[in-house]
Structure 1
Amino acid sequence: MYMDILKLLIFFNLLLSGNPNNLCPISHCPNNSLPVKYPFRIQGYQTPKCSYTDLRCSSEGAVILNLPNFGDFYVRDIRYGQGDPLIFLYDPQKCLPKRFMASNYSSFRPGEAAYFLYYTFYSCPPEEIAWTGFPTISCLSNSSSAAVSTRAVSRQTMTDMYSCKEIVTSSVAVAGRDPPDFIGDETDFALEWSAGSCESCPYKGTGVVSGPVLRAFVMIVYSTVIVPAITFLLMVVFLCVACFSHTMDCYTGDIDSETARRRIMAEFGTPSTTLNAALAPANATHLDDTQIKSCSELIDVETIGSGVQGQSENNGCSICLEEYCANEKVRQINLCQHRFHADCVDNWFRKNSTCPICRVSLLDEKL
């Protein structure tokens, strides 16, 4: 697997360090000297990795850019420079104002105009406009009507003073800090074309889009190197935790008082709090009924003499922590004189062979 990863890294290193002009050569439409390179490409002339924006060629060799919701425009020039390129467009029907009249869009993303300003288009009597010096739009005018587009003259002035009829108000892409007051026979408009996420590409302006390649490289390295490494690390951590837990269990063993107390109380169905005396022995040897009767005896609570009242087990059973009731019989171990509820200690002896309190062994006591 590591050899495969090494080969993959070498391949991408060669891919990214190669001559970008060889990867994405500059292309042209037939019979057109306009160079097309990053962030544009001509369909059918360059591979998809070389660009973000498609251009195409007309049958006459003109370079065509399609603006969504606005239609096809011919490309007159592209100025690449150091920043985002400027692309200069014109209307193949030679009536650019009509295109702006017919649409009302304030963005050509990823292309951006310097400004979008609202102009109002009017149809005016030619004789009323002739003496004003207002520029007219030739492709929209005829002998009986002169088309005028302005953002500076008020609607009231145009209609009352010059007898014009309003056609439409629409946003128009203009360039520069001093946009014109009137739209005339302008033929071109320019857009600054954003290079998107590839602003920091080392090959920007040379024809190669390294952004998608680098992203693909990162994804492949992530899936082939980082994911297995993380998986391996998690496995190591899991094994370390398991070994540590096992070591602690071996160290504490079953003689841990809290663990043993919970186990005893769960088996006998008795409370499991503060019982420090009832600890399970290390061995599992037990006493049978005959041995239990031989090493202990049943006595009445009332017979517990005053001479042993100092012992805590005289007041209650150390196994279940319950106090003795009147007329109740308790079992007393002969060797150590410790007393418990008969049921509690009988259950204890069926699993153990020592006193629950002092741990004296009862196996050696003669029957």
Structure 2
Amino acid sequence: METLALFFFFLFFSFTQPVLCADVCTPASCDSVQGPRIRFPFRLIGRQPEHCGYPGFHLFCNNQSQTILRLPLSGEFVVDYIDYTRQTILIDNPDDCDPKRILNFSLSRTPFGGTYTRKITFLNCSSDWTEYMSYDLFPFFCLSGENYVVMAMASYSSAQQIPPSCRMISNVSVPTQAQNYVSQYQSSRQIRVDFQLTWNEPGCRSCEANGGICGFKDNTVLEVGCSKPPNHGLPRSAKYGIIIGVGIPGLLCLIVLACFAFGRIRALSHRRLNISELPTITISQQPVVRAAGLDGPTIASYPKTVLGESRRLPKSSDSTCSICLSDYEPKETLRSIPECNHYFHANCIDEWLKLNGTCPVCRNSPESSIGTPCSSMSSSYSLSSSDHH
């Protein structure tokens, strides 16, 4: 009973660990092929319960199956990638004019910060922008007008590199990747920025690095816990419970069987020892003497008797031939073996004695037996005469 109770205790403990809330949050995505997998601390609105996401980490899907992050002061951005272990998210501008988003970009009132920050200086220059080709400037026609061109340059450039006909609009710090890249657009150089953001709270780096799943411990407080991912097998504690619950009774059974087997072996050993102490009795067997068949004259010398109506013989028990097992009938000829005076049908005993030189009843050999021979003629005469009288 104690072992059974211990087994159920381990099972209960293994299935009732309060690590995360009862409702399991299944990862979701807007595009199952290319879209990022959304899980805690992010939540996909309309596809995951509210407790599956941390405040400020809500995403949604647009009509193009893109995953969208809405920043309160900067608008909507497309989520390209999420690294849950490093706690970084990569977003980009869904519109064509990146500089417009850069000028208005702000992470205020959000849980995010910039992984890498680059400062960009925006300039307002005259419309003849070809004279600025020798400068390290990038034109943005989406911000330009008929009489001016908006250009940008890296803020680490010295003030002497600003053309005289340009004036500075603003300096902007942009959380970008380690390096920006330049692409050809309408035969002009355009700067395109991918924003790389990071977050510190909730801190799930160590949990994710160890293969765990981060989430709320319950639905009432914003306390985050870590749980091992579910697998197809039983939890480790449940396996330990099964091993203990089944292993201890099995071990006890093995011990009992071993004791029983040892007792049986010990009893057999004592029994064999007692038998070995008994005196040895030697039984000598006398050799069996098998006599060979008799010859014809010897067989013919044995007395014959013609049985009368009374069927009386010297031995009242001799009423059946021991060879053919048939009862004697009147007028049948019998032959007896003189040494033992046993009677048989004459034909039966003649065939027998040709093969075996012993009496079929007593197994005595007529030649080796010592007995009083009977007279053939007198026996035959007496039995026959008595029947006639």
- Shorter chain as denominator, the TM-score bin is 0.3 to 0.5
- Decide which structure has greater helix share: 1
* TM-score normalised according to structure 1 size: 0.45
TM-score normalised to structure 2 length: 0.43
Who wins on radius of gyration, i.e. which is larger? Answer: 2
